[in-house]
Amino acid sequence: MRGSSFGYLIKEGARSLYANRLMSFASIGTLVACMLLIGASMLFSMNVNEIVGYVEQINEMVAYVEDGVDEAGLEEIEASLELIDNIDMSRSIYVDKETALQEQKELLGDNASLLEGLEGDENPLPNSFRLKLRDLSQTASTEMQVDAIEGIESVRAPSEVAEILTSIRHAVSAGGMFIVALLIAVSLVIIANTIKVTVFNRRKEISIMKYVGATDTFIRLPFFVEGFLLGLISAMVAFGLLWVGYDSLLRLVAQNPSAWIQQASQSLLPFQEMALRLFIWFAAGGIGVGVFGSMFFVNKYLKV
């Protein structure tokens, strides 16, 4: 394409953005709102995933071994545990009763003397396996499998936590998908409307273009450029707003005096870590919606 034509196309696309600034503003506004919601739900679900992952990391199932199981019995139990897929044996550990007592003493700190005299045969604590699970949502069935192993006295599992976490995860991704789909549909309609107005405003120009022999593709290109610019500008605005919003939210969370939230905020993702990915998503989505919306309706309204 020649310079004169290329310049014309870019100029026309930008000019019609300005000429229809009210509609452009409406489209950009809607797209930005959509992207903000999409971005917020993406950030939210990424963070929920991060937190769930963190909780999964520290979560463990404890299987207590019956008193009187000897060395050979322990090995048999370990072999049976190896057979359960959901248990990550490489991260799981065996804790004998002496170590368990030692840990209790450490927990008590200055009051450790309370436990004195419980060493050796007097130790009331059982031997145990601390098991790490691969998939928290399978907690209940894994618990039953472990409980069925001979020589296991009882199992303590954080099944409630697991359930809550997995249902949060599912709800977040399902709800997110629904909102995103709805918003994309809305943006398409709005963009298409903007382009429709542009086509209407420029119908005279378009008819002249046809008479002087501009190709169909050439006539469509300014609308393509307009859709592209609408998408790109929206992506940049939404990205900027989300960045500012997320950062100030993080700061707010970090300042919260509650220790629990303080700790949780440690595992929140900093914006920069997701920025590039998010921007690529925004730009691709915005430009895609803009271009698709404009092309679809230009073809529909322009009998070129």
Partner 1 sequence: MIDFINVSKVYKSTGTHALNNFSVRIDKGEFVFVLGPSGAGKSTFIKLLLREEKPSSGEIYVNGQNLVKMRRRKVPYYRRTLGVVFQDFRLIPTMNVYDNVAFALRVTNVASREIRDRVPYILGLVGLSGKAKSLPEQLSGGEQQRVALARALVNNPPLIIADEPTGNIDPELSFEIVDLLTEINKCGTTIVMVTHAHQLVNEFDHRVISIDEGTVVSDDANGRFFIE
> Could you tell me the smallest distance in angstroms from the CB atom of residue 23 to partner 1?
17
Nearest approach in angstroms of CB 198 to partner 1 is: 14
263 lies in the binding site for partner 1 (CB under 8 A): no
- Asked if 18 is part of the footprint of partner 1 (rule: CB under 8 A), the reply reads no
Q: Given candidates 2, 90, 113, 120, which one binds partner 1 under the rule CB under 8 A?
A: 2
Q: Does 208 bind partner 1 (CB under 8 A)?
A: yes
Taking CB under 8 A as the criterion, the residue among 58, 72, 212, 259 binding partner 1 is 212
Residue 1 in contact with partner 1, rule: CB under 8 A: yes
Binding to partner 1 by residue 216, rule CB under 8 A? yes
Which of 276, 257, 246 minimizes the C-alpha distance to 47?
246
CA distance 65 to 73: 10
- Under the criterion CB under 8 A, does residue 10 sit at the interface with partner 1? no
Pairing mode of beta strands 93-95, 61-65 = unpaired
Beta bridge partners of 154: 64
Which member of 141, 207, 256, 262 binds partner 1 (CB under 8 A)? 207
Closest CB to partner 1 among residues 1, 22:
1
Is residue 105 involved in binding partner 1 (CB under 8 A)?
no
Q: For partner 1, which is the closer residue by CB, 34 or 221? A: 221
218 binds partner 1 (CB under 8 A): yes
Q: Pick the piece of the chain touching partner 1 (CB under 8 A) from 103-111, 156-164, 209-217, 246-254.
A: 209-217
Q: Does 303 bind partner 1 (CB under 8 A)?
A: no
**List of residues 6+ apart from 190 with CB closer than 8 A:** 26, 27, 30, 31, 293
Question: How many chain residues touch partner 1 (CB under 8 A)?
Answer: 21
Nearer to partner 1, 172 or 225 (CB): 225
Tell me which stretch binds partner 1 (CB under 8 A): 72-80, 124-132, 207-215, 230-238: 207-215
68 interacts with partner 1 by CB under 8 A: no
Q: Does 141 bind partner 1 (CB under 8 A)?
A: no
Give the Cα separation of 61 and 283 in Å (integer). Answer: 44
CB closer to partner 1, 103 vs 216: 216
Interface residues toward partner 1, by CB under 8 A: 1-5, 7-8, 204-205, 207-216, 218-219
